[in-house]
Structure 1
């Protein structure tokens, strides 16, 4: 078990609630280590195989999960290891967003999540999921240039000042980032291909996100629903907005939060949004450096990134239930916006 003591909700009181359900699992013996600096989890798990440990339990947020994935799988430029030779992964969410573990079907509440996880471990219920790569690194949920990366960089600045990264602060930062992007939109060039041989190309897109599952969220109850066909069993999905000016552009951006999933405003928004599913390779480029993010971690400013989908990359303990369709009414979205506030 790897614990990140700097996770948003982690405390000694929480550990006293989390550990007993795990200790109650017969034949489970835990070796516990704490992370002490960035990339420490990646260093801990680097080179481990299932002969060393059957399971790695991560008690932390999305950053800790991303580090563990990159440590286990190594450089994405090399041959991908067989998932059956690697320790299985399990996650107990104690971060601020907990995007991946929630996308896998767990509650964001760590106490609720650990009770479900303990039953899955007892019954050995796991699944193998796809992962994405960017250049020589791995990601589990999403990656992209522009708007989302700008939001995460601003949230990092807020956290450096000692404020918690709450859904409300994410929302406020996102609103300001959309305003800046509408005044000075980035230009992202996209080239993608699917395993079936389909091609996709578009230049000067102001908003474009690549996701590995659907839906995912960093705004509490508000799901970020981009491509309804996407899941951890498919390739990467791309979602973009070709023009973010005016009312149509605003509606296109609001698709990120599940607005108009019923396509009531379809006549206004269709011309502004684009999507491409089951992508195996994606190349993103910008004429000038723009911020890039992967799994909620700001990776600095880049001009070119190559993304790739890797099927059956890692085995995780997670419910095997089918993914629920992403259907939301405008009333439900407005209700959850109010809940975030």
Structure 2
């Protein structure tokens, strides 16, 4: 059976269906309007301002264990929703999931506040098809290889690309998800899951402390700061991990391994192996490489929730290693 990633690497033999006749998977379709652009700006700027204020505020009046616990819990819920759900499962088909897990991963990823599911998947599949070449939605090498060009490219790859009005055709790159009514519905309900994601921490904080102050601090730390931190860690995979890092495996792009992002990215920063073997359920395949996403997939497999997991064999890993050139005689 042809994998999802293998399908998108092939040249399309026919033109994609007319978008007007295809079911819409996101509220904005394949183009961002003015309202959506402004909403995107709001959801980036406000959490980022909170992140900037976090250090001086923590120094001034501290952060409670409750706030810290909520921030960490919701951070890794959303992060694994992206890494396991949006990325390894929905984009690359690294494993098969029973229906309840499929729905749970779709909702958890949506709570990361990184955009509707189908749009996220379409963008990422297009990224793999044209990785670090013309057509890649967010390559840091877009403007060239000089230092000024790379700095401009890093800004583009990190977040500026999201404001491009032209969007990846969802019907072309994610038709399998559009055909699923439940997944299409969750994708279209992105605003609802954003509200849930932002509202749950202050609701819990307020109820536990029985105070408005407890609700406010939980909202600041576990909603705003958490979302901003997760955004920038995720975007760093697009920017930093395609500009620097070790490349022990063969790939047709400049993806690299950045070890200091491994824990916060839930294993996604072992990016070189991912681009060398996109459907692999594990990205951190070398000794000492922490990959919490792979560990959770293993647990789901053991519980019977996931099956047909594409674990990388030793021979498959070895076949993708970079070979050093032989020394001249």
TM range (shorter): under 0.3
Considering fraction of residues, name the structure with more helix: 2
| Higher share of residues assigned strand | 1
